[in-house]
Amino acid sequence: MKIVLLDADTLGEVSAIDDLKKLGDFIKYGFTKPDEVLNRLSGADIAITNKVVLSKEILSQLPDLKLICVAATGTDNIDIAFASEKGIPVKNVKGYSTDSVAQHTFSLLLHLADKLEYYNSYVLSGEYCKSEIFTSLARPYWELKGKVYGIIGLGAIGKKVANIATVFGAKVIYYSTSGVHDDPDFERVGLEDLLMQSDVISIHSPLNDRTRGLIGEKEFKLMKENAILINVGRGGIVNENALIEALNNDRIAGAGIDVFEKEPMVGSSPILKIKNKERLVVTPHIAWASIEARGKLVEGIISNINEWKAKS
């Protein structure tokens, strides 16, 4: 059985990858360009992909392919309908990054809320050495306790974040992007109410027709001036031009962004036009990628392959 991993570089160094060798003739590629996909999957029984696109055009030319394993939760890079028509199961991995994304959410938030960029620079620049007092109050910061924490998308990750926010003493409200989710532990509100009430707004929903462009110029105008926006969901949910305009014009206090409309981010991105860098913290889509999460992801792929083999 031939197993091909198309984009190993997106998983990094994970010891569990070597366990895939026990399942068959395993071949891995660090990165696969679109014009290389067909050749590399020729004769493969199992394809493993994170972001490499497997379109109808590609799948129609792979008669030996029997299983597609997505090294992620989202499957939007696969033509699911055509794969189903050809009898090729598509298996993703769920829940592997919940703890990692929740932790990163608060890393971004606390970096902004506690004004860490300013204070770190203040100390390391030597300015603190010149101070006549033991502290600096140049950048006031506030506690999460007693604040309203608004969550867009209360799935597994959103629920984890909600529970952590509650430990900090925040009041949690949420907006259901599907319109059907109800959670007895937290108050569900409409999007406009969430935007107007929240001191912190964090996004944990998938990108789909209901969420694409969900947060734009109109929505930023509804937010509090002290609000902090965190997006660890998908880049297309937030209009980046509107975000930078809101930050540059003091409509909101700050933003922590881990996902972008285009990834990798392009050099012309409005994100790079932020005037006050203290108001923005950005990371390159790494919220999901703790060492532990990547290990769980590979273990999930192996489990999916074994489950498929047992049924075949």
- 177-215 pLDDT per residue, tens: 988 889 999 999 999 999 999 999 999 999 999 999 999
How many residues belong to the chain?
Answer: 312
293, 100 contact by CB (below 8 A): yes
In three state form, how does the secondary structure of 145-200 look?
Answer: CCCEEEEECCCHHHHHHHHHHHHHCCEEEEECCCCCCCCCCCEECCHHHHHHHCCE
Return the pLDDT at 139: 96
Tokens of 24: 């068959």
**Given this model, what pLDDT does residue 16 score?**
87
Q: What is the pLDDT of residue 180?
A: 87
Contact 68, 24 (CB under 8 A): no
pLDDT at position 209: 92
How many Cβ atoms from other residues are within 10 Å of residue 71's Cβ? 23
Nearest to 104 by CA among 226, 205, 200, 231: 231
Catalytic residue among 204, 251, 279, 285: 285
The pLDDT tens digits of the residues spanning 268-282 come to 999 999 999 999 999
3-state SS class at 78: strand
CA distances from 140 to 100, 115, 136 (A): 29, 8, 9
Q: How distant is the alpha carbon of residue 19 from its chain centre? A: 27
Interaxial angle between packed helices 98-113 and 116-124, expressed in degrees from 0 to 180 and rounded to the nearest 10 = 60
168 Cβ partners below 8 Å, 6+ apart? Answer: 143, 144, 145
**Could you say which DSSP state residue 96 is in?**
T
Percent of the chain with pLDDT over 90: 96
Tell whether pTM > 0.85.
yes
Indicate the angle between helix axes 98-113 and 291-311, nearest 10 degrees.
Answer: 160
Which of 234, 251, 279, 294 is labelled catalytic?
Answer: 234
Given 143, 217, 263, 307, the catalytic residue:
263
d(CA 97, CA 294): 8
111 catalytic? Reply is: no
240 part of the active site: no
Q: How far apart are CA 79 and CA 223, in angstroms?
A: 38
Q: What is the dihedral of CA 221, 223, 229, 233, to 10 degrees?
A: -80
Closest CA to 156 of 288, 16, 66: 288
> Cβ atoms within 10 A of the Cβ of 204, count?
29
- Joined tokens for residue 229: 């926006």
Chain segment 256-309, per-residue pLDDT in tens: 999 999 999 999 999 999 999 999 999 999 999 999 999 999 999 999 999 999
Active site residue 204: no
What percent of the chain is predicted at pLDDT more than 70? 100
